[in-house]
Structure 1
Amino acid sequence: MMKIGVLGPVGSGKTTLIEFLTEYFVRKFAISVGIITNDVVSNHDAVRVYEELVVTKKVLPKENVVGLVTGGCPHTAIREDPSMNLRALERLTRRVRLDVIFIESGGDNVMSTFSGLLADYTIFVLDTAAGDKYPGKGGLGISESDLLVVNKVDLAPYVGADLEKMKRDAEKVRKGKPTVFVSLKTGEGVESLINVLKEELSIEGILRI
């Protein structure tokens, strides 16, 4: 079983990314996927995932989606004290056999990371609408995540974000670790995202796809 942690600022596209990858993994490779979402004050993301993947697209059974309300700092629940998520993992895997589990953090800052107890592979999500400064700012989440996904590239012209600058900064900060630029809304860059994940996860020996 592979645990994939997805983190990044509020509104960057974490839930959308998880929904896309879940549908792709299930339909393309017929594997079993579970999802745990973290929210500070509500289970909004879990409800959205349930409606999208369970009710509308019928990709997952309802028992494969778990929503957690952490009630505190988002990165505490995934790093300093991951006990709530660990209990959710235990309950989830006791109910169903899973090949992949996505764990979505609540909205995080650039210093957030996952505890090694929770995630085998981590994806940090940024979006161009927040400006082109973020990759260059660094921070553990950006520099240490296994994959950096810069989302909403279709919005770059409207917010004055320089994608080439973001690429240069990401290469400098991440020191060879992969970064992909995508629009999960339009599909731009999605093929590159899938190709990187195929290569990365196969190298890690966690998921053979």
Structure 2
Amino acid sequence: MLARQPSKSSKTKRQGRVFVITGTSSGIGIETVRAIAATGATLYLTARDLDKAKSALESIFDPSRMELFQMDQDSLASVRAAAAAILKKTSKIHCLINNAGIMAIPDLRFTVDGYELQFGTNHLSHFLLFQLLKPALFAAATPELPSRVVNLSSSSHNIHGINDSDGYSFQRGDYDPGMAYGQSKTANIYMANEIERRYGAEHLHATSVHPGIVATGLTRHMQDIKPSFK
């Protein structure tokens, strides 16, 4: 993956702006940090494994403008703690990029709080993080420079909608790794759409994006697509 380098004008525009990015220890998260770091913005980054993130970001990490926060997204308590730590550092956030995620977990597993692991990690943790950081997003928003939320979704949302008949958890013996992932990605889209509907007029916008199939650790449980990366 190659991150497109920003122009001089975009670098000037983003100096002094604050970005929060989740899942920055591997894959797309690293490249997102690389691209935005080049703009001169301040970055608050989260990762479950801080040692892994520090190693992955070593070549681009600038301690004068970046800080890492531990956040385990299968624990809502960990999300709350990370959000509180970030808000101690800044009262304004210009952009929240919800990048962290897991994919196609082969067997039914649950978060610390009892939610199906992909739904809890990919959606619920980001929904809570947004709610906790929302005041800071509003504080930064202006008509000229609206605040933004970006959710990393996937075309896999086409696989499955929202299954709310059993608490989103596939506990009736019908668990399927791809369907569970699709549900979580559908939820990412719904979340972004609802943020835009509710708050767009108040200069807080949201979008969901499909990054395409990228050779990252996210696909480690999907043996059938790995040959396409060779």
Q: Give TM-score, length-normalised by structure 2.
A: 0.42
Higher relative contact order (CA 8 A, sep 6+): 1
> Which is higher, the Rg of structure 1 or of structure 2?
2
TM-score normalised to structure 1 length = 0.45
Structure with the bigger percentage of strand: 1
